[in-house]
Amino acid sequence: MPGDVVTMDKIVALCKRRGFVFPSSEIYGGLGSTYDYGHYGVLLKQNVKGEWWRAMVQDRDDIVALDSAILQHPKVWEASGHLAGFTDPLVDCRTCTQRFRADHLGDLQCPRKPSKPPGQGPDCDLTDARDFNLMFETHVGPVKESASVAYLRPETAQGIFINFKNVLSFARKKPPFGIAQVGKSFRNEITPGNFVFRTREFEQMEMEFFVPPGEAQQWFEYWQQARYDWYVELGIRPDHLVLRAHEADELSHYSSGTSDIEYRFPIGWSELEGVANRGDFDLKAHAEHSGEKLEYFDQATGERYVPHVIEPAAGADRAALAFLVDAYDEEEVAGEQRTVLRLHPRLAPVKAAVLPLVRKDGQPEIAREIVAALRPILAVEYDEGGSIGKRYRRQDEIGTPWGITVDHQTLEDRTVTLRDRDSLAQERLAIDELPGVLARRLAAPWRSPKLGAA
Ligand code: GAP
């Protein structure tokens, strides 16, 4: 297998070319660092979220789902500490009028002299750093006054804490148990960038796991490992994934311990997901600000306590980007270059493409019949446009693991060829065997071919 050929530019180009992700508002010149997901991008991100829901809720009986509102009472953000402390240090340049994160200056470029960081160009004139709150402010109702101020949520987690009591009263759970949520969050990042890695509008996949205080450390360790394993099971190469414990001076105000799962992106090792031990910070803060008791009473033992919280917090866009980067490959086949996304079949936007060799002789009709038979069990696409080689290339670039070709022989014996995206092996199978064979292969454990032979 060739070495790593992937760059962020190649990922951006492939995403545009194959309709995964487009720059947003493009016909109006774009709006910095916002993106729209096209057909295959939607399907890929949907599969990432689907696998997260499967691992977090469907495969367990100690976690329940929630979908809280994006707009919440402003007191939520007072209690959580976001109003006072969710800030980044900001500097302005009086010359070019651009704004920069004061703590990232070394990684940034002066717009007038890109070989230098901001502040070191000949004309740079930076202000002192000041705190900039990352929450997007808006107004609820028709009157813009201070009483109507609200915020777009900067994380999904708080929606879970403020529903702790509701969930406890209906879900018939006792600690340890968790509440999982997937949804949009908004942060007015000073320097977003690197494609969908850091944007101002993004989707999070967060789970708050409420535990008896004495079990917090054990569950913290459990969730670090479980979340690391989730990425590996879905094909991320283990040598591109690391668990890194935060130093004391990196910890958020609520955290008594955090480990980041970092992925080796083309921009370097960067956070993919954080797993934090939030202690009793959030439930106590919301109890204090709301006047509600947010605790657990164990009727069996007569014990009353505020559960501690372990939080695995992932980003759906960032995870999708990591899966794309890890899957991207190029190789030469019969003298021709091919680009291929070696995605785990469960993540692939399309699982099987059905391709009639020619657009006549009854082949399209049989191909359509196969599509109809497969559609109830997996995502399948019919494609009859262009040469067969071009159609394979297209499916390779969107990561379709299996190609089913209908040819002259199909009309005689109702067999087709089944092409494997990674090995390029072709086998001849009876049409009736396809649903069973593909369902079994989709459910089987998978190992990235980029790792070489086991
Ligand atoms: N509730 C804890 C929390 O929000 P975080 O580390 O700030 O923790 C969790 O965010 C995850 O959300 C990150 O690991 C990342 O995957 C994703 N994320 C955060 N900010 C993002 C941004 N501006 N753009 C894309 N994804 C982001």
Q: If you average pLDDT over residues 167-193, what whole number do you get?
A: 93
Cis peptide before 176 (omega within 30 of 0): yes
DSSP letters, 141-193, are SS--SGGGEEEB-S-SHHHHHTTHHHHHHHH---SSEEEEEEEEEE---SS-B
CA of 157 to the centre of ligand 1 (A): 11
CA nearest neighbour of 167 among 222, 209, 203 = 209
pLDDT at 419 over 80: yes
CA of 275 to the centre of ligand 1 (A): 11
Coil/strand/helix, residue 95: coil
Tell which atom from ligand 1 comes closest to the C-alpha of 197: 25
* Residue 65 Ramachandran class (φ > 0 left, ψ -120 to 50 alpha, else beta): beta
For residue 3, what pLDDT is reported?
58
Tell which atom from ligand 1 comes closest to the C-alpha of 156: 1
Instruction: Determine the Cα–Cα distance for residues 300 and 334; give it in Å rounded to an integer.
Output: 70
Number of H helices, E strands in the chain: 13, 23
Q: What is the β-pairing status of strands 308-315 and 268-279?
A: antiparallel
CA of 425 to the centre of ligand 1 (A): 40
What residues does 202 pair with on adjacent strands? 185
CA of 199 to the centre of ligand 1 (A): 10
Instruction: Determine the Cα–Cα distance for residues 286 and 281; give it in Å rounded to an integer.
Output: 9
* Weakest-pLDDT range from 134-148, 179-193, 408-422: 134-148
Residue whose Cα lies nearest atom 8 of ligand 1: it is 313
User: What does DSSP assign to residue 78?
Assistant: H
Q: pLDDT digit string (tens) for 269-323?
A: 999 999 999 999 999 999 999 999 999 999 889 999 999 999 999 999 999 999 9
For residue 1, what pLDDT is reported?
40
Tell which atom from ligand 1 comes closest to the C-alpha of 154: 4
Contact 377, 328 (CB under 8 A): no
Residue 149 vs residues 154, 186, 337, 403: alpha-carbon distances, Å: 15, 16, 55, 54
CA of 407 to the centre of ligand 1 (A): 49
For residue 271, what pLDDT is reported?
97
Mean pLDDT for all residues in the chain: 95
pLDDT at 229 over 80: yes
| Tokens linked to 149 | 């101020």
What residues does 35 pair with on adjacent strands? 23
User: What does DSSP assign to residue 28?
Assistant: G
Tell which atom from ligand 1 comes closest to the C-alpha of 192: 23
For residue 41, what pLDDT is reported?
98
Instruction: Determine the Cα–Cα distance for residues 157 and 162; give it in Å rounded to an integer.
Output: 9
Residue 412 vs residues 361, 409, 432: alpha-carbon distances, Å: 12, 5, 14
Q: If you average pLDDT over residues 65-88, what whole number do you get?
A: 96
Q: pLDDT digit string (tens) for 23-43?
A: 999 999 999 889 999 999 999
Contact 75, 354 (CB under 8 A): no
Instruction: Determine the Cα–Cα distance for residues 261 and 230; give it in Å rounded to an integer.
Output: 11
SS3 letters across 306-327: CCEEEEEEEEHHHHHHHHHHHH
Q: Which mutation among 101, 155, 244, 262 tests ligand 1's pocket best, with the greatest number of atoms within 8 A of CB?
A: 155
This prediction has a pTM of 0.95
- Most confident range (mean pLDDT) of 19-33, 138-152, 249-263, 415-429 is 415-429
For residue 2, what pLDDT is reported?
45
Spell out the residues 6+ positions from residue 430 whose beta carbon is closer than 8 angstroms to its own: 413, 414, 415
User: What does DSSP assign to residue 422?
Assistant: T
Instruction: Determine the Cα–Cα distance for residues 284 and 293; give it in Å rounded to an integer.
Output: 9
CA of 195 to the centre of ligand 1 (A): 15
Higher model confidence: residue 147 or residue 330?
330
Contact 227, 180 (CB under 8 A): no
Instruction: Determine the Cα–Cα distance for residues 275 and 205; give it in Å rounded to an integer.
Output: 12
Q: pLDDT digit string (tens) for 336-387?
A: 999 999 999 999 999 999 999 999 999 999 999 999 999 999 999 999 999 9
Ligand 1, CB within 6 Å, residue ranges = 155, 157, 187, 189, 198-199, 202, 204, 206, 271-274, 311, 313-315, 317-318
